[in-house]
Amino acid sequence: MEADAATGAPSDAGADRPAGEYRLVEDAASLRGLVDELVREPAYALDTEFHRERTYYPKLALLQVAWRRGIALVDPLAVDVSPVAEVLAGPGLAVLHAADQDLEVLERACGRAPTRLFDTQLAAGFLGMSTPSLSSLVDRMLGTRLEKGDQLTDWTRRPLTETQRRYAAGDVVHLLELRDLIVDRLSALGRSEWAAEECEILLRRSRAPLAPEEAWWRLKHARQLHRRERGVAQSVAAWRERRARTLDQPTRFVLSDLALVSIAHRPPSTRAELEQVRNLDVRQLGAGGVAEVLAAVAEGLAMAPNAVRVPPVHRGEGVARPAVAIATAWLSERARELEIDPAILATRADLAEFFQDRPGGRLVSSWRGDLVGEPLRRLAAGDAALALDRGETLVLEERSRRPFVVAEPQIAGAGGGDEGPHVP
């Protein structure tokens, strides 16, 4: 009985296969055969192992795939994995866990993300599980323990050990079965469309790096820089970003944040002045680097004020904090009542954006609009109020508009001589 990838009907696709039963794909012919098999599958599970500690872009070190008839470990250090794009572009449903970073890696290695996505971690949030790890989800829903592995292992080292391979296979072996169980529970609760909508939003989210001219926004206390400092920060950070991409190195390897901020505060105009910058060894700038940094500084100093790209002011930054605090308290109770991860229901940023003269964001439409948007609208309009029920739960009620009279404190010696009994 095969799962219908569109309707989410249960299947035996997740039949428990030992993680040791996998095939290694280390040459173009083997990968071609795997791709030809996968493009016909209605659903397949994916995971990636990657490193990005010493590179600008994440470096794919292993690609794991599971489908109804097998598990494959594809070695991207031995074979070009770009043909996997044929699978990703097809109609099959890609099942991943905590997919955001994996999607970035796939886009880089294969040129695209999947056409359709089911994220087991995200979907489990609609069952009341707060961002569960894969091992905890497998344990909770399947009663199975995943093999423990060294999370700090070097996946780029070859050959991979048998322990590494089994650990990697374990990351995909249960995903299809998990997906079927989660879909069944979501369907029973009438929440399948909610999870599908959130998976689609995750899939379509842009994972492109910031424009080089906006890279300075990531600096700590960037908003506190003054006008001239902002121009220098923008120009030098843009140079750093481009050089890091060209060299495929982390930006901190090119120029540290501390050095960049120091340059913005006291812009150098000579090599001697640049050598005095805190946390900077000019030798690390490489050939031509000193001249390029000084040129970037000069460009920043000459930058017109309207050429400086200022970090955007997010909607809701000026919203009264009491409104957000009160709504946050009620949302926590609402999430508990609905058995939904509070982070999925709404974030503080969602609330701040909602409490505007013109409400915006995720709470004004779709499933969130019905569940929390409309009640919050009535709360903001003064038509509803929060009450503590028996000291245990917050309840949103119709507002009576009858003010509660608070007794004035009694002051000793006041009251026209009525001082009570005299104590000698």
Q: How do residues 286-327 score in pLDDT, each as one tens digit?
A: 889 999 999 999 999 999 999 999 987 655 555 567 888 889
- Please state the φ and ψ torsions of residue 417, each to the nearest 5 degrees: 90, -5
CB within 8 Å of 263: residues ≥ 6 apart: 232, 236, 274, 277, 280, 293, 297
In angstroms, how far is the first alpha carbon of the chain from the final one? 93
Kindly tell me if the per-residue pLDDT of 185 is higher than 50. Answer: yes
Q: What is the pLDDT of residue 150?
A: 67
Kindly tell me if the per-residue pLDDT of 418 is higher than 60. Answer: no
pLDDT tens digits for range 262-277: 999 999 999 999 999 9
Q: What is the pLDDT of residue 419?
A: 52
Q: What is the pLDDT of residue 319?
A: 56
Domains of the chain and CATH, by start = 23-204 (3.30.420.10), 212-307 (1.10.150.80), 321-398 (1.10.150.80)
Q: What is the pLDDT of residue 4?
A: 40
CB within 8 Å of 223: residues ≥ 6 apart: 311
pLDDT tens digits for range 27-48: 999 999 999 999 999 999 999 9
pLDDT above 70: percentage of residues in the chain: 90
Kindly tell me if the per-residue pLDDT of 11 is higher than 70. Answer: no
Kindly tell me if the per-residue pLDDT of 282 is higher than 50. Answer: yes
Distance CA(347)–CA(328), nearest Å, equals 8
Higher pLDDT, 402 or 246: 246
- Lowest-pLDDT range of 175-184, 295-304, 388-397: 388-397
Is residue 155 a contact partner of residue 73, using CB atoms and an 8 Å limit? no
Average pLDDT over all residues of the chain: 90
pLDDT tens digits for range 121-142: 999 999 999 999 999 999 999 9
Kindly tell me if the per-residue pLDDT of 14 is higher than 60. Answer: no
The DSSP code for 98 is S
Distance CA(133)–CA(170), nearest Å, equals 13
Q: What is the pLDDT of residue 7?
A: 37
Supply the pTM of this predicted model.
Answer: 0.86
Q: What is the pLDDT of residue 415?
A: 55
Distance CA(65)–CA(171), nearest Å, equals 9
pLDDT tens digits for range 55-88: 999 999 999 999 999 999 999 999 999 999 999 9
Q: What is the pLDDT of residue 406?
A: 81
- How far CA 242 is from CA of 60, 211, 220, 282, in Å, comes to 21, 10, 20, 18
Kindly tell me if the per-residue pLDDT of 423 is higher than 60. Answer: no
Kindly tell me if the per-residue pLDDT of 417 is higher than 60. Answer: no
